Amino acid sequence: MRAGLLQPLLFSQLLLLNAAVASAGESYSSNNLPATSGHSSDGLLVKFKPHISRQLARTIAESYGALEIFPLSTTHQAAPGSPMAQWHHLRFDQNANLQQIKQRLEQDASVEIVEFNQEVTIQKQ
């Protein structure tokens, strides 16, 4: 890629990049990168509590209207029970009210964190 071109990254990819860099023992701060962001129109990132199995996470996600659920740890190969294994990308219909779904999920006792799936663009220098 030529210098100066923008490359979009989903927030989920940035989480994985941050985890990979952190596991390599290097310090990483997204504040050092020229970036812009906006949330994806069809997804939320959800961190379920450690005792929630993947099957139960799927059932919970579907109860909120998720069409698809992807564990973020499949590409990172996080060990079951590790913090990365708890994160899932939930995809919804493009007309779903993500703000309302996010607020409802935040009240669910099975959920630790809910974030919009952010698309981050980093300018390569």
Contact 87, 45 (CB under 8 A): yes
1 within some domain: no
Q: What is the CATH number of the domain that holds 113?
A: 3.30.70
Confidence at residue 42, expressed as pLDDT on a 0 to 100 scale: 72
Confidence at residue 85, expressed as pLDDT on a 0 to 100 scale: 81
Confidence at residue 46, expressed as pLDDT on a 0 to 100 scale: 96
**How many domains are there within the chain?**
1
Confidence at residue 4, expressed as pLDDT on a 0 to 100 scale: 42
The predicted model gives 44-53 an average pLDDT of 93
39 within some domain: yes
69 within some domain: yes
60 within some domain: yes
Better pLDDT: 49 or 13:
49
The predicted model gives 7-32 an average pLDDT of 44
Condensed to tens digits (0 to 9), the pLDDT of residues 94-122 reads: 899 999 999 999 999 999 999 998 776 77
Confidence at residue 58, expressed as pLDDT on a 0 to 100 scale: 94
Give the pTM: 0.65
74 within some domain: yes
What tokens appear for 71 in the block? 């564990």
Domain span holding position 40: 6-123
* 3-state SS, one letter per residue, for 9-77: EEHHHHHHHHHHHHHCCCCCCHHHCCEEEEEEEEEEEEEECCCCCHHHHHHHHHHCCCCEEEECHHHHC
Confidence at residue 122, expressed as pLDDT on a 0 to 100 scale: 74
Confidence at residue 39, expressed as pLDDT on a 0 to 100 scale: 59
